[in-house]
A and B are shown apart, each in its own frame.
Chain A
Amino acid sequence: MTSRNPVQKFKERNLFSRLKKKDKDAFIEAYDLYVDDIHRFVYFKIGHKEEANDLTSIIFLKTWEYIKNNSLTDSRTLRALLYKVARTSIIDYYRQNQTVSSIDDENHPIDVIDDSQSVIEQINLNSDLEIIRKKLPELKMEYREVIIMRFINDLELEEIAEVTGKSKGNVRVLLFRALKALRELIETK
């Protein structure tokens, strides 16, 4: 797993500081920086590409509304704030759509956008994706969420703790259990 270097952290902090001053340009920069991560988080949580697109749009708009109307003193990082908004938006989505979905169906394959990948890498990725596509939705929502945040979207433990409202220790335990559960699911295929 790659952790963010000090330059990236500086960039993010700077962006967050500007957003605290309601800088509109900073918000667009934040969109460019985080749209992939937020879309991926939503996509792996709800399982539909089109709905993930719509929800991601809503999340960014809601975040801007929140930034405009609040002082942002209760969030430590911009990423954590975006994930918090994403989380509540997904909860709202589930309230409106009671059925729990699986990750895209066979007729609508997932687009993997990365031109730099070789054919072998693409095949491997697709096979990994296939496993996740089938098994991730079978996990408890709580497990699924921490796995996406930590191992797919590379959030730090402190950030996951802030987003979920749990302690770092609890997040660590949750991650351990989630990985174990996913492994067991994959091995019983």
Chain B
Amino acid sequence: MTERELIKKLNNLQNVKPDDSWKTSHREILLSQVQNTSGDFHLSALGNFWMLTRNVFASVPQFAWASVAIVLFLTTGVFFGDRLPVGPNNSLYIARVISERAKLSTMSDGEAKSRLTVQYSSGHARDIVSTLSDANNTSNQEEVAKLNDTFKTEIAKVKENLPTVVSNDDAVVAIADSEIATTGLSVYTPEGDKPKDTVVASSTPMVEVKDAKVILDEAEKLFDAKDYAGALDKLNEADQVLQQ
């Protein structure tokens, strides 16, 4: 007999129960004995509610509550992140950023990923500028320094992903090199690994990359000079160029 079989046989013994007649008669005796003892139980509605709530929390495993909390946190970020008036120093905003990163990490299409990175990062940069343009938010210097760093990081991300995003519709991947951009452009087709002949960069995409980069540089300068309204205008302008 294996251990498993033995345990199964032992489990079967759960069906061993006392006689129903004995249980009923003993219940009556016990009930009368208990009722005859002194003291009575009274619990207010509020006390009852508190007791029930505490027991519900205690009965469900902690990891289940933690999972529910995480799911709620992320769901709020995904569904309401764009609609809620929250700033970069708010916990709901952090939820939104986490859900955006989760979405990005699941994407395998490089171009779409870059496009989304540009979209999110420029959005974050705009949010930071909007937050800092509000005088109420600039009192905490530590927070301001953090947002400054984040702004720089987001702008760097946008610049890094620009060439891929602005590549043309013929599935040509442009190389982000400003020197090449002014003289010519090496292009690669998806079918083959070898580069085709260098072509003259008269195409619109590289002009857009350059334009967008220049505008982003200007936005950065204005941001450094604490001209938040100007920086916001430049960011919107860069957005328009990229959407064309």
Contact = CB atoms under 8 A, between A and B. Distances in A.
B interface, size bucket: 35 or more
Contact of A40 (B16, B41, B54, B61): B16
Interface stretch (A6-14, A80-88, A166-174): A6-14
Contacts of B43: 18, 21, 23
Interface string B50-70: 011011101111000000000
Interface string A96-138: 0000000000000011111001000000110011011000000
Contacts, number: 129
B26 interface: yes
**Quick one: which of A14, A132, A187 has the most chain B CB within 10 A?**
A14
A21 B23 CA distance: 25
Interface string A35-70: 110011001100001001100110011001000100
A153 B30 contact: no
Interface string B1-30: 101001101111111111110110011011
**Quick one: which of B18, B30, B37 has the most chain A CB within 10 A?**
B18
A113 B17 contact: yes
B46 interface: no
Nearest to B29: A57
A89 interface: no
B225 interface: no
B13 to A, nearest CB: 5
B39 interface: yes
A141 interface: no
A152 B11 contact: yes
Interface residues of A, number: 56
B135 interface: no
A70 to B, nearest CB: 13
Interface in A172-189: 179, 182-183, 186-187
A113 B19 CA distance: 7
Pairs A-B, 10 closest by C-beta atoms:
A10-B59, A151-B10, A23-B41, A13-B55, A9-B59, A128-B9, A39-B18, A113-B17, A152-B13, A114-B15
Interface of B: 1, 3, 6-7, 9-20, 22-23, 26-27, 29-31, 33-35, 37, 39-41, 43, 51-52, 54-56, 58-61
